[in-house]
Protein backbone atom coordinates (compact mmCIF):
# COMPACT_ATOMS: atom_id res chain seq x y z
CA UNK A 1 0.00 0.00 0.00
CA UNK A 2 2.97 2.34 0.57
CA UNK A 3 3.45 2.76 -3.18
CA UNK A 4 -0.22 3.34 -4.00
CA UNK A 5 0.20 7.13 -4.07
CA UNK A 6 3.15 6.79 -6.45
CA UNK A 7 1.16 4.76 -8.97
CA UNK A 8 -1.93 6.94 -8.58
CA UNK A 9 0.17 10.05 -9.16
CA UNK A 10 1.80 8.53 -12.24
CA UNK A 11 -1.62 7.60 -13.64
CA UNK A 12 -2.89 11.14 -13.07
CA UNK A 13 0.16 12.57 -14.83
CA UNK A 14 -0.40 10.33 -17.85
CA UNK A 15 -4.10 11.24 -17.98
CA UNK A 16 -3.25 14.93 -17.69
CA UNK A 17 -0.73 14.75 -20.53
CA UNK A 18 -3.22 12.81 -22.68
CA UNK A 19 -5.87 15.44 -21.94
CA UNK A 20 -3.55 18.26 -22.99
CA UNK A 21 -2.84 16.52 -26.28
CA UNK A 22 -6.54 15.85 -26.79
CA UNK A 23 -7.46 19.51 -26.38
CA UNK A 24 -4.94 20.55 -29.04
CA UNK A 25 -5.77 17.77 -31.48
CA UNK A 26 -8.97 18.74 -33.26
CA UNK A 27 -11.43 18.94 -30.42
CA UNK A 28 -14.12 21.57 -30.92
CA UNK A 29 -13.16 24.90 -29.40
CA UNK A 30 -16.62 24.91 -27.83
CA UNK A 31 -15.17 22.65 -25.11
CA UNK A 32 -11.42 23.13 -25.42
CA UNK A 33 -10.85 25.68 -22.65
CA UNK A 34 -12.64 23.63 -20.01
CA UNK A 35 -10.75 20.49 -21.02
CA UNK A 36 -7.44 22.37 -20.91
CA UNK A 37 -8.15 23.56 -17.38
CA UNK A 38 -9.15 20.10 -16.16
CA UNK A 39 -6.17 18.43 -17.85
CA UNK A 40 -3.71 20.97 -16.44
CA UNK A 41 -5.18 20.56 -12.95
CA UNK A 42 -5.02 16.77 -13.20
CA UNK A 43 -1.39 16.99 -14.37
CA UNK A 44 -0.44 19.31 -11.50
CA UNK A 45 -2.18 17.15 -8.88
CA UNK A 46 -0.58 14.05 -10.37
CA UNK A 47 2.90 15.55 -10.02
CA UNK A 48 2.18 16.44 -6.39
CA UNK A 49 0.77 13.00 -5.54
CA UNK A 50 3.64 11.27 -7.32
CA UNK A 51 6.21 13.37 -5.49
CA UNK A 52 4.48 12.65 -2.19
CA UNK A 53 4.43 8.92 -2.89
CA UNK A 54 8.14 8.91 -3.72
CA UNK A 55 9.03 10.88 -0.59
CA UNK A 56 7.03 8.54 1.65
CA UNK A 57 7.74 5.14 0.18
CA UNK A 58 10.55 5.61 -2.30
CA UNK A 59 10.51 4.10 -5.73
CA UNK A 60 8.45 0.90 -5.89
CA UNK A 61 10.17 -2.35 -6.69
CA UNK A 62 9.56 -3.39 -10.27
CA UNK A 63 9.69 -6.92 -11.63
CA UNK A 64 11.45 -7.78 -14.87
CA UNK A 65 8.11 -8.07 -16.70
CA UNK A 66 6.95 -4.70 -15.38
CA UNK A 67 10.29 -3.14 -16.32
CA UNK A 68 9.95 -4.48 -19.87
CA UNK A 69 6.41 -3.12 -20.14
CA UNK A 70 7.52 0.28 -18.85
CA UNK A 71 10.42 0.26 -21.32
CA UNK A 72 8.08 -0.46 -24.24
CA UNK A 73 5.68 2.25 -23.06
CA UNK A 74 8.51 4.77 -22.66
CA UNK A 75 9.93 3.95 -26.10
CA UNK A 76 6.49 4.23 -27.72
CA UNK A 77 5.78 7.51 -25.94
CA UNK A 78 9.14 8.95 -26.99
CA UNK A 79 8.50 7.90 -30.60
CA UNK A 80 5.02 9.43 -30.59
CA UNK A 81 6.31 12.65 -29.03
CA UNK A 82 9.03 12.85 -31.67
CA UNK A 83 6.49 12.37 -34.46
CA UNK A 84 4.17 14.95 -32.87
CA UNK A 85 7.01 17.46 -32.58
CA UNK A 86 8.21 17.02 -36.16
CA UNK A 87 4.68 17.26 -37.56
CA UNK A 88 3.62 20.08 -35.20
CA UNK A 89 0.78 17.95 -33.83
CA UNK A 90 -1.11 18.63 -30.62
CA UNK A 91 0.53 21.22 -28.33
CA UNK A 92 3.55 21.38 -30.68
CA UNK A 93 1.31 23.23 -33.15
CA UNK A 94 1.95 26.31 -31.00
CA UNK A 95 5.62 26.20 -32.06
CA UNK A 96 4.88 26.28 -35.77
CA UNK A 97 5.49 29.63 -37.36
CA UNK A 98 2.72 30.45 -39.77
CA UNK A 99 2.03 33.36 -42.01
CA UNK A 100 -0.54 35.65 -40.41
CA UNK A 101 -4.06 35.55 -41.70
CA UNK A 102 -4.50 38.18 -44.39
CA UNK A 103 -8.05 39.42 -44.70
CA UNK A 104 -9.11 39.44 -48.34
CA UNK A 105 -10.08 42.73 -50.04
CA UNK A 106 -13.65 41.48 -50.43
CA UNK A 107 -15.58 39.60 -47.75
CA UNK A 108 -18.29 37.02 -48.36
CA UNK A 109 -21.28 37.19 -46.00
CA UNK A 110 -23.20 34.07 -44.98
CA UNK A 111 -26.35 34.58 -42.91
CA UNK A 112 -27.56 32.13 -40.30
CA UNK A 113 -31.23 32.88 -40.78
CA UNK A 114 -33.96 32.88 -38.11
CA UNK A 115 -35.32 29.42 -37.32
CA UNK A 116 -32.12 27.58 -38.27
CA UNK A 117 -32.41 25.69 -34.98
CA UNK A 118 -35.49 23.90 -36.41
CA UNK A 119 -34.60 20.69 -38.32
CA UNK A 120 -37.64 21.28 -40.52
CA UNK A 121 -36.19 24.56 -41.73
CA UNK A 122 -33.91 23.79 -44.70
CA UNK A 123 -32.61 27.34 -45.10
CA UNK A 124 -30.05 27.80 -42.36
CA UNK A 125 -26.73 28.95 -43.80
CA UNK A 126 -27.54 31.31 -46.69
CA UNK A 127 -25.98 30.93 -49.13
CA UNK A 128 -25.26 27.30 -48.37
CA UNK A 129 -22.64 26.85 -51.09
CA UNK A 130 -20.17 29.59 -51.92
CA UNK A 131 -17.15 29.74 -54.21
CA UNK A 132 -14.30 32.08 -53.33
CA UNK A 133 -10.90 32.95 -54.80
CA UNK A 134 -7.72 33.26 -52.76
CA UNK A 135 -6.59 36.86 -52.64
CA UNK A 136 -9.97 38.17 -53.77
CA UNK A 137 -12.80 37.14 -51.42
CA UNK A 138 -11.42 34.26 -49.32
CA UNK A 139 -12.48 35.93 -46.05
CA UNK A 140 -15.93 34.66 -45.06
CA UNK A 141 -18.15 36.15 -42.35
CA UNK A 142 -20.99 34.17 -40.77
CA UNK A 143 -23.67 36.26 -39.03
CA UNK A 144 -26.12 34.77 -36.54
CA UNK A 145 -29.49 36.41 -37.31
CA UNK A 146 -31.62 34.26 -35.02
CA UNK A 147 -34.49 36.12 -33.36
CA UNK A 148 -34.45 33.71 -30.40
CA UNK A 149 -31.59 33.21 -27.97
CA UNK A 150 -29.99 30.38 -29.97
CA UNK A 151 -26.24 29.98 -30.47
CA UNK A 152 -24.63 28.23 -33.43
CA UNK A 153 -21.19 27.13 -34.58
CA UNK A 154 -19.37 27.01 -37.89
CA UNK A 155 -17.38 23.78 -37.63
CA UNK A 156 -15.42 22.07 -40.39
CA UNK A 157 -16.35 18.42 -40.76
CA UNK A 158 -12.73 17.43 -39.99
CA UNK A 159 -12.17 20.21 -37.43
CA UNK A 160 -9.87 22.32 -39.62
CA UNK A 161 -11.71 25.30 -38.18
CA UNK A 162 -14.32 25.81 -35.50
CA UNK A 163 -15.97 29.04 -34.45
CA UNK A 164 -17.22 27.88 -31.09
CA UNK A 165 -20.70 28.99 -30.04
CA UNK A 166 -21.79 32.51 -30.98
CA UNK A 167 -25.21 33.96 -30.29
CA UNK A 168 -27.73 36.21 -32.04
CA UNK A 169 -26.28 39.44 -33.37
CA UNK A 170 -22.76 38.03 -33.27
CA UNK A 171 -20.57 36.99 -36.17
CA UNK A 172 -17.49 34.88 -36.86
CA UNK A 173 -14.87 35.48 -39.53
CA UNK A 174 -12.51 32.99 -41.13
CA UNK A 175 -9.92 33.58 -43.85
CA UNK A 176 -9.22 30.53 -46.03
CA UNK A 177 -5.56 30.16 -46.97
CA UNK A 178 -5.56 27.19 -49.31
CA UNK A 179 -7.60 25.81 -52.18
CA UNK A 180 -10.09 22.99 -51.69
CA UNK A 181 -13.62 22.09 -50.67
CA UNK A 182 -14.51 22.82 -47.07
CA UNK A 183 -17.73 21.30 -45.76
CA UNK A 184 -18.95 22.50 -42.40
CA UNK A 185 -21.86 22.17 -39.99
CA UNK A 186 -23.26 23.43 -36.68
CA UNK A 187 -22.41 21.23 -33.69
CA UNK A 188 -25.66 21.73 -31.71
CA UNK A 189 -27.74 21.55 -34.91
CA UNK A 190 -26.01 19.06 -37.23
CA UNK A 191 -28.67 19.37 -39.94
CA UNK A 192 -27.23 22.81 -40.63
CA UNK A 193 -24.64 22.22 -43.34
CA UNK A 194 -22.72 24.37 -45.80
CA UNK A 195 -19.83 24.29 -48.28
CA UNK A 196 -17.07 26.73 -49.20
CA UNK A 197 -15.12 25.98 -52.38
CA UNK A 198 -11.81 27.84 -52.50
CA UNK A 199 -10.02 28.41 -55.81
CA UNK A 200 -6.42 29.44 -56.38
CA UNK A 201 -5.63 31.52 -59.46
CA UNK A 202 -2.41 33.03 -60.77
CA UNK A 203 -1.34 36.38 -59.24
CA UNK A 204 -1.93 37.99 -62.62
CA UNK A 205 -5.50 36.71 -62.76
CA UNK A 206 -6.15 37.82 -59.18
CA UNK A 207 -4.87 41.31 -59.98
CA UNK A 208 -7.05 41.38 -63.09
CA UNK A 209 -10.16 40.44 -61.08
CA UNK A 210 -9.47 43.05 -58.41
CA UNK A 211 -8.88 45.70 -61.04
CA UNK A 212 -12.13 44.83 -62.76
CA UNK A 213 -13.94 45.23 -59.45
CA UNK A 214 -12.21 48.52 -58.72
CA UNK A 215 -10.52 47.14 -55.63
CA UNK A 216 -6.85 47.62 -54.89
CA UNK A 217 -5.03 44.63 -53.42
CA UNK A 218 -4.46 45.09 -49.72
CA UNK A 219 -7.46 47.33 -49.10
Residue 111 shares a structural domain with residue 90: no
For residue 146, what pLDDT is reported? 97
Residue 207 shares a structural domain with residue 126: yes
pLDDT digits (tens, 9 = 90+) for 107-119: 999 999 999 999 9
| Within-domain flag for 124 | yes
For residue 186, what pLDDT is reported? 96
The CATH number of whichever domain residue 178 belongs to comes to 2.60.40.420
| Within-domain flag for 218 | no
For residue 89, what pLDDT is reported? 66
For residue 119, what pLDDT is reported? 95
Q: Which domain holds residue 80?
A: 4-95
Contact status, residue 184 vs residue 156, Cβ threshold 8 Å = yes
pLDDT digits (tens, 9 = 90+) for 129-172: 999 999 999 999 999 999 999 999 999 998 889 999 999 999 99
Residue 134 shares a structural domain with residue 178: yes
For residue 1, what pLDDT is reported? 45
- Say what the pTM is: 0.59
Helix (H, G, I), strand (E, B) or coil at 195: strand
The C-alpha atoms of residue 132 and residue 138 are separated, in whole angstroms, by 5
| Within-domain flag for 44 | yes
Nearest to 110 by CA among 153, 142, 138: 142
Mean pLDDT of 76-95: 69
For residue 64, what pLDDT is reported? 76
| Within-domain flag for 154 | yes
More confident of the two residues 158 and 61: 158
**Which of 69, 95, 121 finishes a domain?**
95
Confidence label for 12 from pLDDT (cuts 50, 70 and 90): confident
Confidence label for 106 from pLDDT (cuts 50, 70 and 90): very high
Amino acid sequence: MEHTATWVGLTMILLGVAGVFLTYSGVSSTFIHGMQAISALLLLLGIMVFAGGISRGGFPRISAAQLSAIGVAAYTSAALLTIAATTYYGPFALLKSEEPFTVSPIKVIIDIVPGSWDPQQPDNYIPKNVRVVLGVNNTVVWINKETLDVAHTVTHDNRLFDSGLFGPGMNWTYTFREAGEFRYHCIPHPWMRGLVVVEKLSPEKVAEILESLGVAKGE
